[in-house]
């Protein structure tokens, strides 16, 4: 499987409202950390994530987390 592009080496913290979100898995989106359709024609698909309550979320930007779409600190080893 092809590796995604690293869009950042630090997580992106955002205060999220409840709702459905699509995390960019390919790393090419211009709307990081969310999908903008840039994966079209590739083997990547966005990851659907549901946020149930308003909270701060640390989104993975290196695209290598074992806890996708959330940061697990993997970026520290890149």
Delimit the domains of the chain by residue range: 12-77
User: Residue 45's pLDDT is what?
Assistant: 96
pLDDT at 1 over 90: no
Interval 21-75: pLDDT, tens: 999 999 999 999 999 999 999 999 999 999 999 999 999 999 999 999 999 999 9
User: Residue 19's pLDDT is what?
Assistant: 98
User: Residue 12's pLDDT is what?
Assistant: 98
Determine how many CB atoms are found less than 10 A away from the CB of residue 17: 10
Q: Is 74 helix (H, G, I), strand (E, B) or coil?
A: helix
User: Residue 78's pLDDT is what?
Assistant: 86
Q: 76 or 1, which is more confident? A: 76
Residue 35 near residue 14, CB atoms below 8 Å: no
Q: CA-CA distance, 58 to 67, in Å (whole number)?
A: 11
């Amino acid at each position: 499987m092809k590796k995604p592009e690293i869009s950042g080496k630090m997580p992106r913290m955002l205060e999220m409202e409840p709702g459905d979100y699509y995390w960019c898995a390919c790393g090419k989106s211009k709307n990081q950390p969310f999908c903008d359709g840039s994966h079209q024609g590739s083997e990547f698909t966005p990851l659907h994530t549901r946020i149930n309550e308003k909270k701060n979320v640390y989104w993975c930007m290196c695209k290598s987390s074992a806890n996708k779409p959330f940061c697990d600190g993997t970026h520290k080893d890149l």
